[in-house]
Amino acid sequence: MKRDDLEPGLADNPTLRADPLADATIGRILGPGQSGGPDMATIAVLNKEIARWQLNGDLDGWRASPGLPPEMAAALEDYVEQARVLPEWAIASKIARAEVLFMEMSMASCTLLFCASLPQCYVMPDLAAVLHAAGELEQHTDYRVRATAAMIFPVMMHGGLTAPAGGGVAQAIKVRLIHAMIRYLVLRGHVADALVAPRRVPRLLALGGTMPQVLYAHGWDVDRLGLPCNQEELAYTLLTFNYVFLQGLRRLGLGLSKGDEEAYMHTWNVLGWVLGIEPGLMTDTMTDAARMFDDLQASARRQVRKSDPRPALAGALVATMQRYIPPRVLKPFPVLLTRHLVGKKASCDLGLDGRVSLLSRGLFVLGFAFVRGIDAIGRLVFPGFSISRLVTRILGYQLTAKLLMDETRPLKLPATLRKEVSDAVQSWHNDARAPRWVNALERRLTGRGAPAARQG
């Protein structure tokens, strides 16, 4: 459906716009929808087929597996041919710079993922409602966090978006198609049908425990909520991974230069294009991003909901982090850091403004003030000196080594990419920007041994 075909006023409402390419692809594969529940057999075949999209080079001239239903094969081949292409405005030098920045931030990047990007992602009520409907976010938060990392790492590693051996584009177009499948399941049919006459999709009795069945039975009020995973929500999510990340660095006293910030935002905008986000909903500068982010959150807070899934999502995320913080007195640290990074309003939205012991709160406030003071003095002598960076890396190590890189539950990535991610994380164990004594202190505090001596 073209935007010109929509009823007056709908074309200008991003909550009623989704992703024509991905939605049409899912529509061709799953058909008009079935009243008895989702077509689990077709969905299983589809999931198995898109799992073949592993490296960017695999997408060049990609052909469906022999024996695949002809309509599914044609739909997926058409989709890959169009979805794999980067925008004309992509600047390779900016993407390369963003890759370097991500690697330099290393363990701190993971801390910001847990304590800033993901919590802010949950602030949007309608987006949280879709995530809540999926069920697994509260029950298996670590699984969902690892799934997010499985996309971020391939995108931000060297050549992730630009090289045939990278995996960022391949992972992103899978996520894009999954978003379309979510829309199809929640709406129980084509997105285009919901737009011709916006309606309320009634909730059904549980059809089963699988994610497609849960989403199909969930129900959705299109008139009040817009489409699930709509353009506004996708644009907001993009901001949580570029703007919120960069804002978090600033709040930790680790802010980047203007040029580096814009390179990082540009790279995520390129990813946004691959994910099907409209360029008009992207921002190029921190100033524009802050304005858009604040406007979207303010709009979300004006919504009235009978039930609020956000505290449960945030609580599950915090509980997951706390499992990897050994000292009891420090277990509230993830909550306190998250509150510092996301601000008072978002903390209240997420139900993170509850009581924390006076001792833990005092340790955090005094420790944070002490660290910022030492950093200010230390940088007079050593420009790259940062205890804030050290503390953030220590928390990031706990989350990266014990959750994201748990060898008993490897990230769902192709073996080649998984090894590349593992090697990159191993290289993060030494902070190239820190003095040797700081690295030695970090190893001691994290329980890591000294790095092995290089051979030859």
Q: Which domain holds residue 58?
A: 3-301
- Helix ranges (H only) for 219-357 are 222-225, 231-241, 243-251, 258-274, 286-301, 310-322, 333-342, 344-349
Residues 339 and 390 occupy one common structural domain = yes
Of 234, 266, 301, the last residue of a domain is 301
Q: What percent of the chain has pLDDT over 90?
A: 47
- pLDDT tens-digit series, residues 225-271: 899 999 999 999 999 999 999 999 999 988 999 999 999 999 999 99
Using CA atoms, how far apart are residues 304 and 202, in angstroms rounded to an integer? 19
Residues 270 and 160 occupy one common structural domain = yes
- Number of helices followed by number of strands (H, E) in the chain: 24, 2
| 276 part of a folded domain | yes
Residues 257 and 343 occupy one common structural domain = no
pLDDT at residue 323 is higher than 70: yes
Residues 289 and 349 occupy one common structural domain = no
DSSP assignment of 210-232 equals SHHHHHHHH-EEHHHH-STT-HH
Using CA atoms, how far apart are residues 308 and 317, in angstroms rounded to an integer? 16
**pLDDT confidence bin for 417, thresholds 50/70/90:** confident
Domains of the chain: total: 2
pLDDT at residue 430 is higher than 50: yes
pLDDT at residue 448 is higher than 80: no
| 157 part of a folded domain | yes
- Per-residue confidence (pLDDT) for residue 183, from 0 to 100: 95
Using CA atoms, how far apart are residues 51 and 170, in angstroms rounded to an integer? 9
Maximum Cα–Cα distance across the chain: 71
Rounded mean pLDDT of 331-346? 91
Residues 259 and 340 occupy one common structural domain = no
- pLDDT tens-digit series, residues 119-142: 999 898 777 777 666 655 545 677
pLDDT at residue 277 is higher than 80: yes
**pLDDT confidence bin for 339, thresholds 50/70/90:** very high
Report whether 155 contacts 28 (CB < 8 A).
Answer: no
Residues 238 and 338 occupy one common structural domain = no
CA 85 to chain centre: 21
- pLDDT tens-digit series, residues 168-183: 999 999 999 999 999 9
